[in-house]
Amino acid sequence: MTEARDPKGSALAELDHPPLGVILTGGRATRLRPLSDGMPKSLIPLLNRPLIAYSLDLLHDAGLREVVVVVGAQDDRTGPVAIASAPAGMTVHVAVQEEPRGSGDALLSAGAHLDGRHVVVAAVDTVLHGSADVRGNLGEQVRAFLVSGTDAWYVLRETDRPREMGIVVLEEQRVLHLEEKPAEPRSNLALVGIWMVSPRAVERLRTNPTESIRGEIELSGTLATMHEEGFPMGGAEYHGHWLDTGTLASLLATQRALLDAPALVAPDAVVERSTLGLNVVVGAGAVVRDCTLRDVLVAPGAQIEGVVASGEVITADGTRTRV
């Protein structure tokens, strides 16, 4: 039996296995079109790195060393990129969700890797940014979950749009109430796209899940049902930046928040006779000639000439979308 310990050496919990990370990469990313046309959501570029790389780094920084990346049946690109992008010391497995039957079904696609494990589940478009000493950082919350005895743990962040998100009411670190897109929100603490679940919650998903009206097995819905039945659940607020990559506008805003230089140009890109203003990223293999750009993402492989653009995403085929 493995004993998990915190950095100071005190025992956190006695576990049959160390916690497992699972990254859900499904979804058609329709709000990211045309950038996402022909590209899995997990490979959307952010500062010239695929989103899947940020998810792997997030879980690695939280102390997880084994991760399952769940991909769709038609996605043969994410797996190899995930394996190549994994931080040193992290083992990555790839599992396939044969049909898009909901987030709970996607988690269950990890199969036997889930057996007896406490699991940290992350949506691939969740980007958290903050230093290691940020209060409520993910590693701190993983450790809190392991000693809590709860069946689920929610990472939360304040939002100004509580009617559009899953909202949790906390008393210290105990969940009192949770509701998806409430008409009358009882708090402004929103789920950020990271769930932690116990072996008992995994087994509930396997044997008696909550299904949506479309027949999909829902992770959040099953956990909400368990909470209503009295299963203990906890959570805590994350005090760093919760960044959105779900739309072209939010992707560009996240690029702006993370970019620590006026512009970023991939090593193999070509930029000639051009002016690059603030928040410009030029992707791998792109060619930019005689252009003036500000607040722009130029996708990998794009070739543009004589373009004056601000607040735009330019795809590999040269399509320009103002955001």
pLDDT per residue over 73-93, tens digit each? Answer: 999 999 999 999 999 999 999
How many angstroms from the chain centroid is the CA of residue 70?
12
Q: Which regions of the chain are under pLDDT 70? A: 1-16
Handedness of CA 134, 92, 192, 278 (dihedral sign): positive
Position 1 scores a pLDDT of: 30
Comma-separated ranges of CATH 2.160.10.20 domains in the chain: 262-322
Q: Where in the chain is the domain with CATH 3.90.550.10?
A: 2-244
Q: Which residues pair with 120 in a beta bridge?
A: 21, 196
Torsion of the alpha carbons at 10, 12, 15 and 17, rounded to the nearest 10? -90
Long-range contacts made by residues 59-62, C-beta under 8 angstroms, separation at least 24? 59/21, 59/23, 59/90, 59/120, 59/122, 59/138, 60/86, 60/87, 60/89, 60/90, 61/132, 61/138, 61/139, 62/21, 62/120, 62/137, 62/138, 62/139, 62/141, 62/142
Question: What token pair was written down for 74?
Answer: 């038609």
Neighbours of 205 (CB within 10 A): 22
Four-way CATH pick for 2-244: 1.10.1060.10, 3.40.50.720, 3.90.550.10, 1.10.1200.30: 3.90.550.10
Q: What is the pLDDT of residues 132-142, one digit of tens each?
A: 778 779 999 99
Say whether 205 sits in a helix, a strand or coil: helix
The tens digit of pLDDT for each residue in 147-185 reads 999 999 999 999 999 998 889 999 999 999 988 888 998
Q: What's residue 308's pLDDT?
A: 97
Inter-axis angle of helices 51-61 and 78-85, nearest 10: 40
Using alpha carbons only, give the angle 15, 18, 24 rounded to the nearest 5 degrees.
125
Tell me the pLDDT of the chain averaged across its residues: 91
pLDDT of 283 reads: 97
Instruction: Supply the pLDDT for residue 16.
Output: 59
Half-sphere exposure of 318 toward its Cβ, with a 13 Å CA cutoff? 8
Looking at the domain that runs over 262-322, which CATH code has it been given?
Answer: 2.160.10.20
The per-residue pLDDT for 135 is 79
Three-class SS of residue 22? strand
pLDDT of residue 296: 98
* R_g of the chain computed on alpha carbons: 20
pTM above 0.85, yes or no: yes
